[in-house]
Amino acid sequence: MKEDASPRSSGTPGLASASLVDGLLEVTLARPPLNELGLELLGELEGLVARLPDAQGLLLTSALPGGFSAGADLRALHAAIAARGHAAVVDDVRAFLGRIGAALTAIDAWPGPTCAAVHGVVFGGGLELMLACDLRVADRTARFAFPELRLGLVPGFGGLARLLRDVGQGHARELLLTGRSLNATRARDAGLVGQVTAPGAHVDVARRAVRQAMRQDPEALAAAKRLFKRPERLADDLAAEVDTFCALFARPEVARALEAFAARTDALPYLP
């Protein structure tokens, strides 16, 4: 992760940038085409986690016009299967889930206030990243979905466990089992986001929200977060989610679904 002109941790230009101003660490994701979460962007997230001890608050957003994140890098996953075989990739997938799960859990459990400012596409792993943040502000262009079941999978970055924690069984079932996307207004009504803004205003609104939270007593804020999030209860659900994902991923149906996905030429093949 870089701050201002310092080197990027991944060595790949354009993945993410960070600035630390008056205690607020602002991280802007910028990995074309739409911040797909693969090994490169995972490295950036791990760099972000390493920076958290220097900050009092965190703001996550995206510089890409299409949205916050389209989720996991499925084309890279298909390419790995094509090159090495499905069975050979299973252990790599579990290792990746362990790393990204640890990064999102570190953001989720960090005692300071965190906020995601989202717009456009917020799908799959991108939605899981948003759910790791305390506060969520959505541009009214935002759309939210968990399309994993179409590929024969479930969320694997902790998204289902956090979704159940934050919005409850009813909304979670509708979002996951149907695969339909929610617009920003419905997401706010479901409790998925706290505020909806006019187009282009979400980052400024989110910045004000997280800075307001930063003015709270830090020890009381951290204690409140522990009461809200119950990390000791979440751990078992997170482990079960990874185990389920890996068991489903090993099936040949998933390799075929990823091949079909990679062959598509739609501009946004992950849209419902």
Quick one: 262 exposed, middle or buried, by C-beta within 10 A (0-12, 13-18, 19+)? middle
Rg for the chain, CA atoms, rounded: 18
* Residues 6 or more apart whose Cβ sits within 8 Å of residue 171: 163, 190, 191, 192
Helix 169-178 × helix 159-167 angle, to 10°: 140
Residue pair 70/36 in contact by the 8 Å Cβ criterion? yes
The one-character DSSP state at 7 is P
DSSP string covering 145-205: E--GGGGT----SSHHHHHHHHH-HHHHHHHHHH---EEHHHHHHHTS-SEEESTT-HHHH
- Catalytic residue, chosen from 26, 36, 40, 148, is 148
Q: Which of 128, 219, 241, 253 is catalytic?
A: 128
36: annotated active-site residue: no
Strand 121-123 and strand 67-69: the pairing is parallel
User: In what helix (H) or strand (E) does residue 109 lie, and over which residues does it extend?
Assistant: helix 86-109
CA 92, CA 77: separation in Å to the nearest integer?
10
Dihedral sign computed on CA atoms, order 219, 221, 227, 233: negative
| 128 assigned to active site | yes
Report helix angle 86-109 to 74-84, nearest 10: 150
Residues serving a catalytic function are 128, 148
